Amino acid sequence: MLLKELSPKIQAALNQQVEMEAASSQYYLAMASWAEVQGYNGTAQFLYRHSDEERIHMLKLVKFINERGGHGLVPALRQPEHQFADIHAVFEHVYSHELAVSREINNLVDLCLQEKDYATHNFMQWYVTEQIEEERMARNILDKLKLIGEDKGGLYIFDRDLANMDTADRH
C-alpha cells in the first residue's frame, strides 16, 4: 500500500515545525555567542553543538515533507534575543523554550491523529522522544546551577564540564 501524500493541513503544520526548529537553532546560536563573549567557553561549545542539532532537526523535517510529496519551506527568521542577565538566565530560557517546542510537537502529533496521517504520526514519534531528552537535559542543567548558586569556583567547573557534556540528541 502506498502512503498518501501530505494533506495541506499536515504540510502547513510540518512547515511551522520547520520554522520552530530553525528558530531554535538561531536561538541557541545567539546564546552560544553571548556565552562565548562572557568567557563561558564550555557553555558556548555546548550551545553551538545544540544549535547544530536543532538545524539537523529542521533538515529532517524538510526532507520528510519533500519525500511525502509536499514542499518543505525555508522560513525567514527574526533575530533572537541575544542579551542575558547571567548563565542561570540562559538555561532558564533553554528550559522554557524546550517546553514550548514540546507543546508544539504534541499539537502536531494530535493533528496527525485527527487527520489519520499515521505515517507522519510515526515519523513524529522521534521528535516526541527527543523532546523528553531535551527537557530532561535542561532540567538537569538547571538543577546543577541551583546547587552552585553564585559560587565562582562552581561556575568555573560547571562551564568546563559543559564543554564535554553530550547534548540529548539521538540521531
Q: Known binder of ligand: residue 115?
A: no
More confident residue, 171 or 38: 38
**Global pTM value:** 0.91
Q: Known binder of ligand: residue 150?
A: no
pLDDT of residue 3: 58
Q: Known binder of ligand: residue 38?
A: no
pLDDT of residue 167: 61
Superfamily of domain 8-72+82-164: Ferritin, core subunit, four-helix bundle (1.20.1260.10)
Per-residue pLDDT tens for 95-142? 999 999 999 999 999 999 999 999 999 999 999 999 999 999 999 999
Band of pLDDT at residue 165, cut at 50, 70 and 90: confident
One-letter amino acid at 24 equals S
Among 96, 120, 151, smallest CA distance to 12 is for 120
Q: Known binder of ligand: residue 81?
A: no
Q: Which helix H or strand E contains 132, and what residues bound it? A: helix 118-148
- Chain mean pLDDT for the chain: 94
Q: Known binder of ligand: residue 82?
A: no
Backbone angles phi, psi at 34, to 5 degrees: -60, -50
Band of pLDDT at residue 164, cut at 50, 70 and 90: confident
Among 8, 5, 13, 4, smallest CA distance to 111 is for 13
Are the C-beta atoms of residues 115 and 169 closer than 8 Å to each other?
no
